[in-house]
């Protein structure tokens, strides 16, 4: 539903809306975009729907206290979020080099939010307002709610609740917990006494009233002994479920405890519909227009959020900690209402860009037991193989897509969220697979096998290579049957824990046999609150307590990355070094199985004429190589998986 007003971002706008003092002031690290793909829009509209007024302070100047005094003192509390992305991921490549742009800032300008925005904003507010409650939330706070490893400083950090000087932390998506907090504050309950709200973390010096809680290793113990952090993390991972999760207590020096309450229960379909039916303007604030708008909205403006949560359980992903493993969905009716609103927008061209979520083809919990007993603590739904209780069924998603395709004004409905191919293969009915190929791909389908060495896939929490290859064969068979020429683009990851040069070379050989060199490769990025990050920091697999190989050397990381793109001439020396170190000199030569050819040392010229002639011939050869490389790049995407598809 389209709204009639943006929430106020200035005192003048606040007064024009008849608000003398806002109940909440929401400080955010992003530009203000009133669209349900932005967390700050959802939280503020939910509060508004419950009768609370909210003023938005977007990207304040963190060097000036007056920048967070735009509306004065809020009646109830400050809310703080770093933004839709973790501020450190937003700012830095995995190499720790600074990103040049920020898609969540007007004009894409970088540098408009501080590093560790939640901590900086919290301290800024506390300096100005000593006793106003501060509630932090969003993905940055959610994933740092307990002690954690910080990749950017290569250090072990305390809970962000302590470092930000906040009173409460709302983790997860936060709609239910923020309303409960608001009602408690509105009823005169002191923020220090709000210790009963699910989905929150608080600090205290008195844990005598906590029953049936689990005491984690202390911060000092974990900092001194990384294995204890691995054990603590696994306990936390096993308590991310609202049905069987326990209260977790993390001790700190000076008698301080950080206490995590169990998660909020999953949203019902009706509750989720209500949230997405709120009166969003579905646009960025008009004050940003003269600076070129907010780039991030272009990716989501004509996309539909169909679900939340993910039972995929990839080890490098933080979704288990943030949205949980129980899938929550919107109704067809709600999604169709939003689609009709999109169709009426002047710049809609007939294409719905995506209908999905964390995993597009999850439209219900993996099994019905989850809705009464919660997810299994020591078993994944899809890994290492699909659980016997898994309900692999795409019929509801297929029905939804057919309804959206039939809407007047819609030319095409694409699926660009991740497709979990092992779940797709577990469905005995291939009707959805067929219609995916026929109706919902724009020339190429992006999937994420991540690697092909089973030893690495096990650490990634991904299915074995054989599952991916079965998927590839079926995909190509369906394309052939339907007369399509659509290709697969595999996402691959280098340097993940468990990957040695041996596995990296095996991946290069696989790509050689495939006839494909990816243009983009993702180095493993150790972000807070993932199983893989714990492996990276501790050298221990928290699931089993066993040691795991970790590639930490920047030079070895460069070699593993170069192997995936071994055809790139700029990577020659790194690839050669990797092959020599890996004992695979057999892959340097002129045989078709070799990855690179030996480089000859040019003969010295005997006179000036010969030297000039050689230089001219060298330049000619180089020009030809450049042309050949360009032609190969043009052919690359056409050849993706061609050999595998023919098997």
Q: Collect all residues with Cβ–Cβ distance below 8 Å to 10 and sequence separation of at least 6.
A: 70
pLDDT in tens, 351-408: 999 999 999 999 999 998 888 888 998 889 999 999 999 999 999 999 999 999 999 9
Q: Residue 491: which H helix or E strand, with range?
A: strand 487-494
pLDDT in tens, 541-597: 999 999 999 999 999 999 999 999 999 999 999 999 999 999 999 999 999 999 999
User: Whose CA is closest to 31, among 290, 303, 296, 275?
Assistant: 296
The pLDDT value given to residue 608: 45
The average pLDDT across 78-98 equals 97
User: Whose CA is closest to 410, among 354, 358, 340, 465?
Assistant: 340
CA distances from 44 to 116, 297, 437 (A): 22, 18, 39
**From CA 382, how far away is CA 102, in angstroms rounded?**
35
**From CA 643, how far away is CA 514, in angstroms rounded?**
6
CA distances from 293 to 56, 286, 297 (A): 17, 8, 9
Tokens of 624: 């030809």
CA distances from 153 to 149, 156, 249, 253, 552 (A): 9, 9, 25, 22, 14
pLDDT in tens, 24-34: 999 999 999 99
pLDDT in tens, 273-322: 999 999 999 999 999 999 999 999 998 999 999 999 999 989 999 999 99
Which domains, from first to last, does the chain contain?
A: 11-200 (3.40.50.2300), 446-647 (3.30.750.200)
The pLDDT value given to residue 637: 42
The pLDDT value given to residue 1: 58
**From CA 593, how far away is CA 598, in angstroms rounded?**
14
Q: Residue 256: which H helix or E strand, with range?
A: strand 256-260
Residue 612, pLDDT > 70, answer no
**From CA 63, how far away is CA 462, in angstroms rounded?**
44
Q: Is 227 exposed, middle or buried (0-12, 13-18, 19+ CB in 10 A)?
A: middle
Mean residue pLDDT of the chain comes to 92
DSSP code at position 361: T
Q: Residue 352: which H helix or E strand, with range?
A: strand 351-352
**From CA 618, how far away is CA 600, in angstroms rounded?**
12
* Phi and psi, residue 469, nearest 5°: -65, -35
The pLDDT value given to residue 29: 98
406, 412 Cβ separation under 8 angstroms: no
Sign of CA dihedral 571, 577, 582, 587: positive
The pLDDT value given to residue 279: 96
Give pTM, 2 decimals: 0.90
Confidence of residue 2 (pLDDT cuts 50, 70, 90): low
What's CA 10's distance to the chain center, in Å? 32
**From CA 146, how far away is CA 161, in angstroms rounded?**
8
**From CA 416, how far away is CA 444, in angstroms rounded?**
10
User: Whose CA is closest to 396, among 329, 338, 442?
Assistant: 329
DSSP code at position 108: G
**From CA 430, how far away is CA 273, in angstroms rounded?**
29
């Amino acid at each position: 539903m389209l709204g009639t007003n943006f929430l106020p971002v200035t005192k003048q706008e606040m007064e024009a809306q008849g608000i003398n003092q806002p109940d909440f002031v929401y400080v955010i690290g992003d530009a203000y975009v009133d669209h349900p793909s932005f967390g700050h829009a959802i939280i503020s509209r939910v509060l508004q729907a419950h009768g609370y007024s909210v003023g938005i302070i977007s990207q304040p100047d963190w060097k000036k206290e007056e920048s967070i005094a735009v509306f004065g003192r809020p009646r109830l509390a400050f809310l703080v979020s770093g933004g839709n992305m973790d501020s450190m991921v937003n700012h830095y490549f995995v190499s720790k080099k600074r990103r040049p742009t920020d898609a969540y800032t007007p004009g894409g300008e970088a540098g408009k939010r501080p590093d560790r925005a939640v901590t900086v904003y919290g301290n800024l507010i506390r300096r100005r307002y000593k006793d106003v409650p501060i509630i932090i939330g969003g993905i940055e706070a959610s994933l740092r709610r307990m002690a954690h490893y910080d990749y950017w400083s290569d250090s072990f950090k305390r809970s962000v609740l302590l470092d930000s000087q906040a009173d409460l932390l709302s983790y997860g998506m936060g709609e239910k917990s923020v309303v409960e907090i608001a009602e408690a504050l509105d009823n005169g309950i002191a923020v220090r006494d709000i210790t009963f709200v699910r989905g929150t973390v608080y600090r205290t010096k008195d844990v005598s009233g906590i029953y049936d809680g689990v005491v984690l290793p202390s911060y000092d113990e974990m900092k001194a002994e990384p294995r204890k952090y691995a054990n603590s993390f696994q306990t936390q991972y096993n308590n991310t479920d609202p049905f069987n999760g326990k209260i977790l207590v993390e001790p700190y020096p000076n008698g301080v405890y950080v206490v995590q309450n169990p998660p909020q229960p999953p949203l019902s379909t009706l509750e989720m519909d209500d949230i997405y039916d709120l009166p969003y303007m579905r646009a960025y604030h008009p004050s940003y227009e003269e600076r070129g708008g907010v780039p991030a909205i272009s990716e989501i403006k004509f996309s539909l959020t169909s679900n939340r949560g993910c039972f995929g359980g990839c080890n490098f992903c933080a979704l288990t900690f943030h949205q949980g493993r129980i899938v929550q969905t919107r109704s067809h009716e709600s999604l169709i209402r939003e689609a009709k609103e999109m169709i009426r927008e002047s710049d809609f061209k007939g294409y719905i860009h995506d209908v999905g979520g964390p995993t597009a083809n999850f439209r219900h919990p993996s099994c019905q037991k989850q809705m009464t007993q919660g997810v299994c603590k020591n078993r994944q739904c899809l890994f290492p193989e699909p659980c016997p209780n898994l309900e692999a069924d795409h019929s509801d998603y297929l029905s939804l897509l057919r309804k959206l395709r039939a809407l007047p004004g819609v030319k095409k409905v694409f699926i660009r969220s991740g497709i979990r191919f092992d779940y797709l293969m577990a469905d005995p009915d291939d009707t959805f697979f067929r219609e995916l190929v026929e109706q919902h791909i724009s020339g190429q389908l992006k999937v994420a096998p991540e690697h092909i060495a089973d030893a690495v896939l096990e650490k990634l929490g991904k299915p074995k290579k054989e599952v991916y290859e079965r998927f590839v064969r079926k995909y190509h068979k369906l394309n052939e049957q339907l007369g399509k020429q659509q290709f697969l683009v595999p996402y691959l990851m280098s340097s993940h824990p468990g990957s040695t040069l041996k596995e990296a070379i095996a991946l290069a050989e696989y790509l050689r046999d495939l006839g494909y060199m990816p243009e983009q490769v993702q180095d493993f990025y150790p972000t807070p609150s993932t199983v893989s990050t714990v492996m990276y920091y501790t050298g221990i697999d928290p699931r089993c307590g066993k040691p795991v190989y970790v590639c930490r050397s920047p030079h070895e990381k460069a070699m593993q990355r170069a192997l995936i793109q071994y055809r790139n001439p700029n990577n020659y020396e790194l690839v050669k070094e990797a092959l020599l170190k890996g004992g695979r000199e057999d892959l340097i030569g002129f045989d078709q199985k070799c990855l690179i050819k030996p480089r000859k040392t040019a003969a010295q010229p005997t006179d000036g004429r010969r030297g000039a002639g050689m230089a001219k011939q060298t330049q000619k050869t180089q020009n030809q190589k450049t042309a050949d490389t360009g032609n190969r790049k043009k052919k690359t995407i056409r050849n993706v998986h061609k050999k595998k598809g023919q098997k």
